[in-house]
Amino acid sequence: MVFSTVLTSSPHVLLGPIKTTTNSPIIRRTIRCSSASVSTQFDLKTYWTSLIKEIDQKLDEAVPIQYPQRIYEAMRYSVLAKGAKRAPPVMCVAACELFGGNRLAAFPTACALEMVHAASLIHDDLPCMDDDPSRRGQPSNHTVFGVDMAILAGDALFPLGFRHIVSHTPTDLVPEARLLRVIAEIARAVGSTGMAAGQFLDLEGGPNAVDFVQEKKFGEMGQCSAVCGGILAGASDEEIQRLRKYGQAVGVLYQVVDDIREAKIAGESKVDEEKKKGKSYVSVYGVEKAMEVAEELRSQAKEELDGLMKYGDRVLPLYSFVDYAADRGFTFELQV
């Protein structure tokens, strides 16, 4: 449910100087020079764009048109959506490569993450959920195919993702025990204690719901993506915990920044309109406090990666994701 917006059209840095108030203090963490500047040394745009092309091709092969044709058309509409950044699968591949894993070992799980991500977005957009008629600048799945087909498409994508992991992961690269851990991790992330719980509280609302909703609806996919990559490559339990905290922080950071950008474009009237819903830090606390939250999340994510510096340059993609999530420092030129 995170990383779901259209490719950014604004390259400008979002997070400027952060002001603090007596009502909303911010704790600043000290980040070592290596982690503060390391992402500027890595060409994330080239790395990311190259992976998108590979992942798109594998997704196209993974979801072919077959009987019943209408369901598969609906599945492909969301999985192969124009403008998708493929952030969950790219993060999975980057985490796998960090620990010396072969990206061929990560691609089946990466594709499965995109299928699960697409399914969650299809269901989120339904009239009985968030009731969104569009996604990434295009009509939502249910707007094109109807609510019935959208529900079936989402229902079909979840198990297809699990099956794809089992049937396509090279057994000479990933032991079976690791695959079972990956499947369990994805099931946990999307289940009743994960993203489903976040969507439940999103519907129910409540004055103190924003942290839980953000962490579950948006942080879970980031967390799951990073953790799955680490599991595939055989990362230690301590390293998996670092990836878990890192991915959670990046996932929420991405959404908080999206909310800030939307509020700045739409103006205060939009913020006031959303306050009744209480679904974001901006709607509950305002833009300035949301910017403080974003800066703290950026620090948290980088702090977790500080413990993985022994892997040298292989940590650069994950560092770069943090700054991209906060600043949106470049645009993509993709063939769509």
Residues of the chain with pLDDT under 70: 1-40, 206-207, 267-278, 333-336
pLDDT value for 66: 95
Residues 117, 123, 124, 125: is their CA dihedral positive or negative?
positive
CB atoms under 10 Å from CB of 234, counted, come to 14
pLDDT value of residue 27: 33
Query: Can you name the residues that pair with 134 across neighbouring β-strands?
Result: 139
Are 249 and 219 in contact by the 8 Å Cβ rule? The answer is yes
Instruction: For domain 44-266+278-327, say whether CATH 1.10.1060.10 is its number.
Output: no
Return the HEC string of 75-141.
Answer: HHHHHCCCCCCCHHHHHHHHHHHHCCCCHHHHHHHHHHHHHHHHHHHHHHCCCCCCCCCEECCEECH
Distance CA 108, CA 170 (A): 9
Rounded alpha-carbon distances, angstroms, from residue 71 to 56, 64, 74, 128: 19, 11, 5, 20
pTM of the model: 0.85
With H, G, I as helix, E, B as strand and everything else as coil, classify residue 196: helix
Residue identified by tokens 């205060």 is 268
Closest CA to 319 of 54, 33, 108: 33
CB 52 within 8 A of CB 111: no
Domain layout of the chain by residue ranges: 44-266+278-327
| Residue 237 identity (one-letter amino acid) | D
* End-to-end Cα spacing for the chain: 22
pLDDT at 241: 98
**CA separation for the pair 150, 140 (Å, rounded):** 9
Burial 295-332 (b: 16+ CB within 10 A, else e): bbbbbbbbbbbeebeeeeebbbbbbbbbbbbbbbbeee
CB atoms within 10 A of CB 206: 11
**115 residue type, one letter:** M
pLDDT value, residue 268: 56
Instruction: Confirm if 305 and 27 have CB atoms less than 8 A apart.
Output: no
Q: Determine the longest span between alpha carbons in the chain, in angstroms.
A: 61
Residue 309 DSSP code: G
pLDDT of residue 320: 94
